[in-house]
A = this chain, B = another copy of it.
Amino acid sequence: MKSLPSSNPAPWSPSAAHNESSPHPFIRKLQRLALLSAADIAALARVSATPVFVGQNTDLVPEGQPVECAFLILEGFACRYRIRPGGARQILTYLLPGDLFGLDAPLVPRSPHALGTLSACQVVRIPHEVLLLLIEQHPQIALALHLSKLVEEAVLHERLVSLGSRSGIERMAHLFCELNVRLQMVSRAAADQFGLPLTQVDLGDTLGLSNVHVNRVLQDLRRQGLIALSGRVLTILNRPQLEALAEFNASYLHLASPTAGG
């Protein structure tokens, strides 16, 4: 695992003019959770104006280190993960475009897990003070961030159910359903198709399966005609059956305050 080359943009990082490439995932996500004013949106746009490009498999925050600033993912897949003494990696959560890491970092002396990229990512580093100010001056943003933490908790609970009591194929189906909905919410997925920049090892470290077993589970899903997966693109071929297999119900991802926009 590489580690992040200090604070400045990596040498191969292009200009910062990329931030209008597509609907801003952070704003889009928070708008779904609370009603934001034009000033709120402007503040969010300002905060995330200078993205940095980070290569895949790069640590943004190493395990056990203090967290110097928050990170906002604009593009790509990142994750929180732990490495066990024997070397095994457990991926705890995925961070997708629009997801924020380190909101509560000032309260935590050292991060109990690492934050790293799984694909090449576009990331914004946000100093704690900036985030603090944002929250103090924009109560609706504070509310949206709070709600987003509650959704994260629900996702974690759902993953616990998967790891604790679902079979390999059910876990995989559930993960795909969840990723599809989460990516759709920030316009990074079509109805039944999205880019999945993960290796089979990544999937295994997420779902508690060996890479070999992941491979066989994927083949099983393909053979049943539920998905297609090749070239880092996942296609859901039979959503009803996939969701049934996963016992998937998207409601846990759709927490919204009564005032929230679409």
Determine whether A85 belongs to the interface, using a CB cutoff of 8 Å to chain B.
Answer: yes
Determine whether A20 belongs to the interface, using a CB cutoff of 8 Å to chain B.
Answer: no
Residues of B within 8 A of A16 (CB): none
**Residues of chain A at interface, number, CB under 8 A:** 35
Indicate how many identical chains form the complex.
2
Residues of B within 8 A of A107 (CB): 146-147, 150, 255, 257
A157/B255 in contact, CB under 8 A: no
B84/A165 in contact, CB under 8 A: yes
A164/B90 in contact, CB under 8 A: yes
B208/A164 in contact, CB under 8 A: yes
Interface residues of A in 19-72 (CB under 8 A from B): none
Residues of B within 8 A of A247 (CB): 84-85
Residue of B nearest to A104 (CB): B150
Residues of B within 8 A of A82 (CB): 157, 161
Residue of B nearest to A247 (CB): B85
Residue of B nearest to A150 (CB): B104
B108/A150 in contact, CB under 8 A: yes
Determine whether A92 belongs to the interface, using a CB cutoff of 8 Å to chain B.
Answer: yes
Determine whether A79 belongs to the interface, using a CB cutoff of 8 Å to chain B.
Answer: no
Determine whether A213 belongs to the interface, using a CB cutoff of 8 Å to chain B.
Answer: no
26 A-B pairs within 8 Å (CB atoms) are namely: A80-B157, A82-B161, A84-B161, A84-B165, A84-B247, A85-B247, A88-B165, A92-B157, A104-B146, A104-B150, A107-B147, A107-B255, A108-B255, A109-B255, A112-B154, A112-B157, A112-B251, A153-B153, A156-B156, A156-B157, A160-B160, A160-B163, A163-B163, A163-B208, A164-B205, A164-B208
